[in-house]
Amino acid sequence: MLTRLRTGFLPLVARLFIVAEFLVALNGKLQGWQSQADYMTAKGMGHVTFFLAAAAAIEALGSLALIVGYRASAAATMLFVYLGIVSYRLHGFWRLSGMAAGANMTEFFKNLGMMGGLLMIAVYGPGTWSLDRWWRRRRPVTT
């Protein structure tokens, strides 16, 4: 029972906790597209529509993959890289001063924590309560 909790239930809960932030961010993009675009423009980004659409797609597909545990290690790796780029490009607190630096520092370090969780999933997998594990158990072994 303890093993199932440690290898199945708790990794699922961890995946859901990490995904929660991506779903909040995705909702912010979809509900406030223009304000997101304005924020990115203010940070000096070009091709905002393309990058905003790409960010929404990455957050949606990556979240779905982590929730169900399908190709979860690849999804976690993709989200890890994405979050690293976003953290550096949009939340680089070292380029700012005053209140703006503090807000960006908070976002930057929140993202680092999420990246740590994503790295754990990328390295150790999604746990036993996942489509990846279910699929592996159902496939016949060939020699």
User: Which pLDDT score, from 0 to 100, does residue 6 have?
Assistant: 94
- Under 8 Å CB-to-CB from 48, ≥6 apart: which residues? 37, 40, 41
> How much is the average pLDDT of 112-141?
91
Query: Is the pTM higher than 0.95?
Result: no
User: Which pLDDT score, from 0 to 100, does residue 103 have?
Assistant: 86
Closest CA to 135 of 61, 71, 73: 71
Has residue 94 got a pLDDT over 90? no
Cα–Cα dist 2/74, whole Å: 28
pLDDT, one tens digit per residue, over 38-75 is: 999 999 999 999 999 999 999 999 999 999 999 999 99
